[in-house]
Amino acid sequence: MLKKIIRISIFIAAVIFFNCTKRNFKQLHPDPEVSVVKNCDTTSAISYSGQVAKILNDNCNNCHNSTGTPPDLTNYNGVAASAQMGLVSCIVWDGNTSNMPKSASKMSVCDITVISKWVSQGVLNN
Ligand code: HEC
């Protein structure tokens, strides 16, 4: 009888312990992509100068500039041309082009969405 009670108590303790560690892990490590998307307004028109250029500058332009690897992504004409040639494909990592940024992590869902929407909204120089 005592053994049975001990066994049941250990089982209950284990269940409580695992539930708590699971919850604490999520609280300590919220999914970074989910929190970024919450602050990512892509419902309004995307701006090239206000949003797209900044993302490319932060993630791409150390390689893709006038003296570096083509395409040159430091100006509107270069980015607009690349939009016809794999710009979106390479940031969503669909396998049809090289994954970009090269040798680095995939960009945030927010940054990828902003650039993809800017392309689908017609590659405006706004
Ligand atoms: C560390 C350097 C580096 C960074 C950072 C980088 N690229 Fe590239 N990119 C390259 C190289 C090198 C190539 C040539 C193809 C290859 O080697 O895979 C290339 C090719 C490309 C191409 C042509 C498509 C293809 O498959 O060849 C596009 C478009 C492109 N990059 C866009 C981007 C974008 C957008 C970013 C930022 C999100 C980025 N790159 C960041 C180095 C880089």
Question: pLDDT digits over 31-47, tens only?
Answer: 555 444 556 777 889 99
How many other CB atoms are found less than 10 A from the CB of residue 82? 21
pLDDT at res. 27: 53
Average pLDDT rounded to a whole number, residues 24-30: 53
Give the binding-site residues of ligand 1, using a 6 Å CB cut-off. Answer: 59-60, 62-64, 69, 71, 82, 86-87, 90-91, 97-98, 100-103, 107
pTM of the model as a whole? 0.77
| Cα 102 to ligand 1 centre (Å) | 6
Among 69, 71, 76, 36, smallest CA distance to 53 is for 76
| Cα 93 to ligand 1 centre (Å) | 12
Atom of ligand 1 nearest to the CA of 59: 37
CB neighbour list of residue 64: distance below 8 Å, 6 or more residues apart: 56, 70, 71, 72, 73, 74, 78
| Cα 40 to ligand 1 centre (Å) | 24
- Asked whether residue 93 carries a pLDDT value surpassing 90, the answer given is yes
Atom of ligand 1 nearest to the CA of 97: 26
Angstrom distance (rounded) from CA 95 to CA 113:
18
Among 57, 56, 73, smallest CA distance to 65 is for 73
